[in-house]
Structure 1
């Protein structure tokens, strides 16, 4: 537990910004005296907290200092899911102390921020990452002013537990992939159950496709690593644009954002099926010149993969009941292939970057066409 940062989090409620900076500097001097090295976690966290504290001249203190509180109690001795519940409980209590209000939205924000912190701990347990992540998520929810009721909160917890159970039982994701899926799942669920259903189908069908003829793909050297278990990079690369559209749909009520969400998920599912099923084909061709290339090569397409991609986009389009989703999603799949054949082959982008840009493109195309 980071006691100096914890002190700042609690006293900030009663002090002005310049007074908080004064307290921070005093603790910084004391920490410098006690620290064995300038890399000491308490010293570094206090140093990093100063710019965030100064930002409270322009943003609410309830954005920055609850984030500091979560960072200060960061502790990896528990299992990830236990830590999520532990952080969520303490964060909810701190927000009640800080804002003197208790609502379903408070618990939901605490759940999301806590899951993000645990993901940071699993991926990059640096002081810098732990200081930045919680206030950033609090700021996003402050900007969007998301309000939910207790029914939506129950749905969000149910989604988190369901995704956790399925991922653990089927081993379709590692710990980081599971945490990323929880974050994206609960945000889509509070935006619309229909949107969550599409996201869930992407995870479920995509994971099944990854397991399809896995030994053959492994023999060819194109199979997903770790037995097909997805990590956070894969989950976020395919779903971050969709989550952006879901948040905007929740905030504005504009149906165009829901269509954009569906199109980005259609591309994600279509591309996953094209890759995982297409890699079992006997022949493949480079999308830029249609010359025969090795199956599984970046930018390679095949008739089998094209059919699988179309079916993936069609599934999401059928649920959303909008032909624009099918069109934009299928175009997005081929944008993915073009980026793979050009920028990925030249090592300018990696697979995650290609997935992110193609799903983002599909979403914006659908938004413009809606």
Structure 2
């Protein structure tokens, strides 16, 4: 067994100590955490140090990685004992990180395939998180059978977020990953989504299959694939299949448009990097606002927000329409050699931020119309006027994207920041137009 595997195994065993909270209470758990921390401070060399040390720990001769890991667990434990975080979420999160790492390290000894590494982490983390939650629910006197769908949903969501953060950050940033996952799962648990065991299994199968297809077709990187699967899972569970169809239409059509005349785009110097595979920044830049709208919809449905749920539906559709419009406008319009700067209408080089073509504008409006048509078909509350609003919101967001590209991109904003603000503009435009038209009571 290699040193990284042994280290991950020890960390996983330490994570099992989180069960001390539901078993013996916070006082005993605090004593155990204190003992581990004292040991981490006292051990500065020798075989135990070598077993537990991350590469950066050797510079100062301190087990800073272990100390930070334990402190992150203590912070979550305080939220579970002093705030309203469910104990099952706390234990499940700690198990998820520890045993997910162990599973990934084992897989790394068998293969060098990065996508298999990510799959190994997600599988081990999901199983560990589910087991940790189930054991905790049993210990506190709850019904595991009744809680199983939520347990599986939280376990899978946490595993995907952790795998994504580990890909974006560093393998040794587990304390940050643990805290981030714990807070997300706490939020999702509070929303109490209504979902059955069979349904969550089907949802996971659908989202994972489509996510892998995006990676296999080279329309998304590993991080982009993980982001898409997580977004898809949350969208279906918190919104519904209709919301997912709207979202996936953007990923599918947008991904294909990236491949459209790719050689021509390479010749012009405007092709997406990595053979067009979109990463986390690109996916989140286009879909983060939509995800917030889904969360807002779920919170409104649970009476946490005094806002009509339908308003978030239109904000979601407006943000996706913007993302679709902007993507098609850029990917199709970029193959023409006569773009003009949107602020002055002066001819500019292909690929210039803020440069537009009439062909790209037509493609963008077509993209918004596709999203509007899907929304009209799937959501009775949209109607003809609502569909027109979605098209208008997509056009507004696409225009905002071009304006920001011509003025602020490169100086104050990156491409992902421009995408985020554009989709936010589309979402707000849709919401304001809906309120003005009094479609939401």
TM-score, length of structure 2 as denominator length: 0.79
Give the Å deviation of 1:157: 1.4
Question: Aligned residue for 2:97?
Answer: 71
Aligned residues of 1:38 and 1:44 also touching (Cα < 8 A): no
Residue equivalent to 1:12: 21
**In the alignment, structure 1 residue 287 sits paired with structure 2 residue 342:** yes
Unaligned runs of 5+ in 2: 1-7, 50-60, 108-115, 139-143, 302-308, 377-386, 435-441
* Residue 84 (structure 2) aligned to one of 54, 59, 65: 59
- How far has the Cα of 1:350 moved from its partner? 0.6
Which entry has the higher C-alpha Rg, 1 or 2?
2
**8 Å CA contact retained: 1:262, 1:325:** yes
CA contact (8 A) 2:90 2:182 kept: yes
CA distance in 1, matches of 2:243, 2:357: 30
Displacement after TM superposition at 1:15 (Å): 4.5
Match of 1:50 in 2: 74
Q: Which residue of 2 aligns with 1:202?
A: 250
Distance of 2:425 and 2:93 partners within structure 1: 32
Residue 107 of structure 2 corresponds to residue 90 of structure 1: no
| Counterpart check, 1:332 vs 2:397 | yes
Matches within 5 A, 1:151-300: 151-190=198-237, 191-253=239-301, 254-300=309-355
* Structure 1 stretch displaced more, 252-261 or 269-278: 252-261
Q: Is the 8 A contact 2:88 2:134 kept in 1?
A: no
Count of residues in Structure 1 that have an aligned counterpart in Structure 2: 369
Distance 1:21 1:138, change over 3 A: same
User: What displacement does 1:116 show?
Assistant: 1.1
More deviation in 14-23 or 316-325? 14-23
CA contact (8 A) 2:12 2:95 kept: no
The alignment's TM-score, normalised by the length of structure 1, stands at 0.93
Considering only aligned residues, what root-mean-square deviation do their CA atoms show, in Å? 1.9
Structure 1 CA distance for aligned equivalents of residues 400 and 30 of structure 2: 49
Cα offset for 1:121? Answer: 2.2
Q: Are the structure 2 counterparts of residues 188 and 301 from structure 1 closer, same or farther at C-alpha, using a change threshold of 3 Å?
A: same
Q: Report if the CA contact (8 A) 2:100-2:124 is conserved.
A: no
Partner of 2:31: 22
Report the Cα distance in structure 2 between the residues aligned to 1:145 and 1:357, rounded to whole angstroms. Answer: 30
Contact 1:155 1:189 in 2 (8 A): no
Residue 64 to residue 360, structure 1, CA distance change in 2 (3 Å): farther
Please point out which of 395, 414, 426 is paired with 1:350: 414
